[in-house]
Amino acid sequence: MRAAVLHEVPGHLSIDEVEIDAPARREVLIRNVAAGLCHSDLHFMDGKFAAPTPSVLGHESAGVVEAVGSDVTYVKPGDHVITCVSAFCGQCNYCLSGRQTLCNRAGTERASGQASRLTIAGESCGQFIGLGSFAEKMLVHEHTVVKVPDEMPLDRAALIGCGVVTGVGAVFRSARVEPGSTVAVIGCGGIGLNCVQGAILAGATRVVAVDTNPAKLDLAKLFGATDTVDAAAGDPVREIRKRLGGVDYSFEAIGLKATVEQAFAMLRKGGTATVIGMMPPGVSIELPGIDFLTGEKTIRGTNMGSNRFREDMPRLVDLYLQGRLKLDELISTRIALEDINDGFAALSRGEVARSVIIF
C-alpha cells in the first residue's frame, strides 16, 4: 500500500510502498477513505516533539473495515468506522472510572518480539499514536475504532476522530460549560472552531473568538461566535475584560506560553481555563498565584477532550445528521495523498481549517 512516511526529524513526508500485516486476533484492518491533516502531526514533523522514524503519520481518519482478527466481535467487514488515538485497555482504574483518555493503552500494541504491523523493505515501520492514518490501509487494535452509520459521509466523519471530539469534548467533558455562561476561545483553527460550536451547543450566551487572522475570525462567526477579538490589534485580555468583565470559561487551542497565560488572565472570579494546545516540553507558564486564592480560578489540561469516544462520537454523528453540528464548513480543501506536504505547508501558514486526504 502507499503511505506518507516520516523518515527524519525535522522533515517532510515521502510517499512510500509499505507492507501491512494480516490482523492478529484483536486487530482490525481498515481501508481508509479519508484522513484529516492536524497540527499535531506537524509538531512532530517540525521536531517540536520526539517521533520515532520511520513512521506513518496521521491520526484523524475514517474508513471501511476489510478484515478482523479472530477475537473481534465489535465490528465486521463492511462496517464504517472512525478511528481515535484514545485507545483503551478497558481494565485499568482509569478506564473503569470513565477516564479512558488517561489509560496507558496496555495490550493495544503488538508486544516486543511480534511481527511489526507495518514494514518497509522488510524493516519495521511505526504507526503514529497506534494509527498511521496517512496510508491507504490501517491495521489497528479494536479499541481504537467506533462504528458509524453508513449514511454518515466518511470525509466528514474523519474530522470527528480528532478535531471535533477534542474541541467539543473540551467544552462538554473537560470544562463542563454551563448554560448561560460566557466563553472565550483563543485560536480559531480546527480545534478552536469546535470549541466555539461546542460552547454554543452547551448554551453559552456569549462566545468570544480570539485570533490574529481575520479570515479565521470570520469563520468563527460562522460557527457561532457572538464576538471576535483581533489579538494582533491589541491586548485580548484587556478587550475581553472591557466587554464582559472577564469570562467564565476560556479555551487555549494554540499551545503557546503567552496565550495560556492570557487564557487564565481573562477569567472572571471562579472561572476555568482549559489548555488544549500542545506546548513543547520544557515550556513553563507564569500565573498570578493570588488569583487561585482570592479569585478561586482554575487552570486545567485536557487530552483529546477527555473523550469517551465510543459514546461521544456516535452522538456527534447524530448532531451532524440533524444539522446541529457543522462539519462541512470545517473542510477547506480535499487533496490527494501525493499533495500532503503542500497541505501541511498551507496549515503551517494558517490558511486552512482542515485539509482532508481522499483515498
Which positions are catalytic?
A: 38, 40, 43, 59, 162
User: C-alpha cell of 273?
Assistant: 481555563
Which cell goes with 35? Answer: 484522513
Instruction: Let me know: does 333 contact 353? Beta carbons within 8 Å.
Output: no
Grid coordinates given for 19 = 507492507
CA distances from 121 to 18, 19, 167 (A): 8, 8, 39
The amino acid present at 19, given as its one-letter code, is E
In 137-266, DSSP assigns E strands to 137-141, 145-148, 182-186, 206-211, 227-230, 247-252
How far are the Cα atoms of 7, 87, 346 from residue 44, in angstroms, in the given order?
A: 12, 20, 16
Count CB neighbours of 311 within 10 A. 11
CA dihedral 316, 345, 252, 328 (to 10 degrees): -20
Checking DSSP bridges between strand 206-211 and strand 118-120, what pairing results, if any?
Answer: unpaired
Residues 6 or more apart whose CB falls under 8 angstroms from that of 218 comprise: none
DSSP 295-337: S--EEEE-SGGG--HHHHHHHHHHHHHTT-S--GGGEEEEE-G
Distance CA 26, CA 36 (A): 26
Cβ atoms within 10 Å, residue 78:
9
Alpha carbons 92 and 90: distance in angstroms, whole number: 6
Residue 161, SS3 per DSSP: helix
